[in-house]
């Protein structure tokens, strides 16, 4: 086995040789003619001329060797269901779904928005799309109608697939009416909406001629076999929207072959899961972790995946460990927030089940604090691996590599650059590499490795501007601060932009500000992320009202706060709801009118507001201090 250093070095110095070898881990209908084409920086094509298909690699390919082995383990503690689909059964369901989509005229390149709870049909739908060469865009179920409408208008889907409701904490969370609303808000609504009806919502409105019942259509295609549509490696597989600095989310466009190769290689080298074994990721299919390590990674590898609908604490805080025991989970993937939730429960739940099958717990999505890391390491007595990546990259950028050479863990560090990534920490001002131990921006020297975003959907210019134009040299910016210590360990110190991280969910403060501004009483608003002991960060809003006398009435402040929070929930969904909204008479700004978000954040967290040399109105600081009570 090679050392980490050799492995990484080879991937950077001989990318064509390295990735040419990794490419052999997947099935190619037609082998690539060229490993890499970087003739048009920063755009990079991988495995040019090769033809493959994600659904074939995830499903059909395994029928010969493991048709009767588990592929998808669906567990819902919300509806008390538990069902194991073998690869053969998964193949049947995906073919039925693909036939239904085909019967509605879906063709290669068409977009499909999938707005679904964590049910097996969501995974069938995703795989059915890529089987046909259609481009899926899964939208997280916690987002509301406005968010959906923005994504509809960007992706212009031919079809939408949804469900009547999700379930959370024993209660139905209706989805369908949000789809109806989003379709009336959108300029380019889909022709048809396919509805998976779980029977959770009474008197659901149905739009005749547009809404189609999936169960009825499925019954017409029980024996369907839908041929694979082979795609050139660089043709798109999906769009996944993510927050950035502006109020409009970016459609991260993923290729096909590069993504399949990258995921296959991480299953072996990083997550150390063999075909036939099980990996359990506790994320949601609406996020990138769900795409890469609930849906595609495991299945491409011939491993089983677990799709869990439910809370980590219901029926009790032992539920995840029961799942680990029952399905012999080998590697698990979760978020620091979820672990902090478990840490606040009775420790007996950590000892109730035999989880000796579990080899590694991977955590990502937000900083892993040392107390949480120590607690979970002590509780599980296995390596707990913090690793770092982004929606854009689709797979880890910094990590430890148990499948290659596991370096000793250093608390607070997500380890080292993963093979394929040439990572540097550079000065924001000069663009030069900073000395070890100094803070800078984490960048990747392009080209990005296979599987990372190929562009921003429909907007090549935005791709170049958002990611490759921050420095004089063309470098991919992660928009994260980082520091690298003397021994090469990396540490992530938070975002350089206005993105915040709430319970591992990435949210743009600009989007929340725009939603708050939709309230007619609000003149101006700043939203910042404030440290929270469980969720990492929570959004907090500071509003200046058009008419401050509105607050004079007794009880007005609490009522307005509720209204403003309600506005965000209505437009964006519960996931983006501010924790608090404060009303102030002035917001700290520079003389040129730029909001001093970092100062506001510092004050809200009871810290020093930092450099205030450009502050316009000193009273505004007092306003914030007064509002937060520091």
Q: Which residues bind ligand PRX (CB under 6 A)?
A: 242, 288-289, 364-367, 386-391, 414, 478, 480, 492, 495, 501, 506
The residues that bridge with 114 in the sheet, in sequence order, are: 138, 161
Supply the minimum distance, in Å, between the C-beta of residue 332 and ligand PRX.
14
Q: How far is the CB of 505 from ligand PRX (least distance, A)?
A: 7
Cα distance between residue 273 and residue 327, in whole Å: 14
Q: Taking the complex as a whole, how short is the minimal distance between the CB of residue 503 and ligand PRX, in angstroms?
A: 11
Q: What angle do CA 194, 200, 202 make, to 5 degrees?
A: 95
Of 444 and 564, the one with the shorter C-beta distance to ligand PRX is 444
What is the SS3 assignment for 92?
helix
Q: CB of 478: closest distance to ligand PRX in angstroms? A: 6
Tell me the C-alpha distance between 604 and 587, whole Å: 13
- Alpha carbon distance 302, 65 (integer Å): 9
Residue 142 or 367 with smaller CB distance to ligand PRX: 367
The DSSP 8-state label assigned to residue 291 in this structure reads: I
Q: Quote the least distance from Cβ 314 to ligand PRX, whole Å.
A: 24
The enclosing H or E element of 530 equals: strand 522-532
**Rounded Cα distance, 232 and 269, in Å:** 26
Rounded to a whole number of angstroms, the minimum distance from the CB of residue 306 to ligand PRX is 18
Residue 406: other Cβ atoms inside 10 A: 15
Nearer to ligand PRX, 164 or 386 (CB): 386
Q: How far is 375 from 373, CA to CA, in rounded Å?
A: 6
Q: Using the 8-state DSSP alphabet, how is residue 187 labeled?
A: S
Tokens coding 627: 């509002």
* 83-87 contact pairs (CB < 8 A, 24+): 83/120, 85/120, 87/59, 87/62, 87/63, 87/302
How is 111-180 classified by DSSP, letter by letter? EEEEE--SSHHHHHHHHHHHHTT-EEEE--TT--HHHHHHHHHHH--SEEEEESEEEETTEEEE-HHHHH
Residue 213 to residue 216: CA distance in whole angstroms: 6
Instruction: Output 459 or 622, the one with its CB closest to ligand PRX.
Output: 459
Instruction: State the minimum distance, in angstroms, from the CB of residue 621 to ligand PRX.
Output: 27
Of the two residues 166 and 529, which places its CB atom closer to ligand PRX in the complex? Answer: 529
By beta-carbon proximity to ligand PRX, the closer residue of 343 and 495 is: 495
Query: Among residues 304 and 364, whose Cβ is nearest to ligand PRX?
Result: 364
Calculate ∠ Cα 596-597-601, nearest 5°. Answer: 125
Residue 278's H or E segment, with its range, is strand 278-281
CB of 499 to ligand PRX, least distance (A): 7
Smaller CB separation from ligand PRX, 289 or 575? 289
- Minimum CB distance to ligand PRX, residue 334 (Å): 11
Distance, CA of 217 to CA of 230 (rounded, Å) = 25
Q: Which is nearer to ligand PRX, 288 or 526 (CB)?
A: 288
Cβ 246 to ligand PRX shortest distance, Å: 16
Residue with smaller CB distance to ligand PRX, 51 or 480:
480
């Amino acid at each position: 086995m090679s050392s980490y250093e050799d492995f990484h070095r080879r991937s950077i110095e001989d990318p064509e040789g390295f990735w040419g070898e990794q490419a052999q881990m997947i099935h190619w209908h037609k082998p690539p003619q060229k490993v890499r084409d970087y003739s048009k920086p920063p755009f990079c094509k991988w495995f040019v001329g090769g033809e493959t298909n994600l659904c074939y690699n995830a499903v059909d390919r395994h029928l010969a060797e493991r048709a009767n082995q588990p592929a998808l383990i669906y567990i819902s503690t919300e509806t008390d269901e538990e069902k194991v689909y073998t690869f053969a059964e998964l193949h049947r369901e995906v073919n039925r779904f693909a036939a239904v989509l085909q019967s509605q005229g879906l063709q290669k390149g068409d977009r499909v928005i999938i707005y679904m709870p964590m049910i097996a049909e969501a995974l069938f739908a995703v795989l059915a799309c890529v089987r046909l060469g259609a481009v899926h865009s899964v939208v997280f179920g916690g987002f509301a109608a406005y968010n959906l409408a923005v994504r509809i208008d960007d992706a212009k889907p031919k079809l939408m697939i949804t469900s009547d409701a999700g379930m959370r904490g024993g209660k139905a969370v209706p989805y369908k009416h949000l789809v109806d609303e989003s379709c009336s808000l959108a300029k380019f609504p889909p022709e048809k909406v396919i509805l998976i009806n779980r029977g959770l919502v009474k008197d659901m409105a149905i739009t005749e001629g547009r809404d189609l019942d999936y169960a009825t259509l499925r019954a017409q295609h029980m024996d369907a076999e839908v041929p694979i549509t082979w795609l050139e490696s660089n043709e798109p597989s999906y769009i996944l929207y993510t927050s950035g600095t502006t109020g409009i989310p970016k459609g991260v466009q993923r290729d096909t072959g590069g993504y399949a190769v990258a995921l296959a290689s991480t299953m072996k080298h990083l997550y150390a899961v063999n075909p036939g074994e099980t990996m359990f990721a506790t994320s949601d299919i609406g996020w990138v972790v769900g795409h890469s390590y609930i849906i595609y990674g495991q299945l491409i590898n011939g491993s089983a995946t677990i799709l869990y609908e439910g809370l980590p604490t219901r029926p009790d805080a032992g539920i995840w460990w029961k799942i680990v025991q029952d399905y012999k989970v080998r590697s698990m993937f979760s978020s620091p927030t979820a672990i902090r939730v478990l840490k606040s429960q009775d420790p007996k739940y950590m000892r109730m089940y035999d989880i000796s099958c579990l080899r590694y717990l991977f955590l990502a999505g937000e900083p892993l604090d040392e107390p949480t890391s120590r607690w979970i390491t002590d509780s599980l007595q296995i390596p707990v691996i913090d690793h770092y990546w982004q929606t854009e990259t689709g797979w880890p950028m910094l990590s430890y590599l148990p499948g290659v050479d596991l370096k000793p863990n250093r608390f607070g560090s997500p380890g080292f650059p993963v093979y394929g990534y040439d990572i540097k920490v550079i000065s924001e001002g000069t663009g030069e590499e900073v000395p070890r131990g100094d803070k800078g921006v984490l960048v990747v020297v392009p080209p990005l490795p296979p599987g990372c975003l190929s562009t921003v959907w429909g907007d090549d210019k935005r791709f170049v501007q958002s990611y490759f134009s921050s420095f004089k040299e063309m470098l991919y910016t992660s928009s994260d601060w980082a520091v690298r210590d003397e021994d090469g360990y990396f540490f992530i110190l938070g975002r350089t932009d206005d993105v915040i991280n709430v319970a591992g969910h990435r949210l743009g403060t600009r989007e929340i500000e725009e939603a708050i501004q939709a309230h007619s009483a609000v003149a101006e608003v700043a939203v910042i992320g404030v440290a929270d002991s469980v969720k990492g960060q929570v959004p907090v809003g500071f509003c200046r009202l058009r008419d401050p006398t509105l607050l004079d009435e007794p009880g007005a402040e609490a009522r307005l706060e509720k209204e403003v929070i309600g506005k965000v929930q209505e437009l964006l969904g519960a996931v983006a709801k501010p924790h608090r909204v404060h009303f102030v008479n002035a917001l700290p700004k520079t003389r040129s009118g730029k909001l001093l978000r970092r100062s506001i954040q510092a004050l809200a967290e009871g810290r020093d507001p930092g450099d205030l040399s450009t502050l316009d109105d000193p009273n505004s600081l007092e306003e914030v201090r007064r509002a937060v009570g520091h």
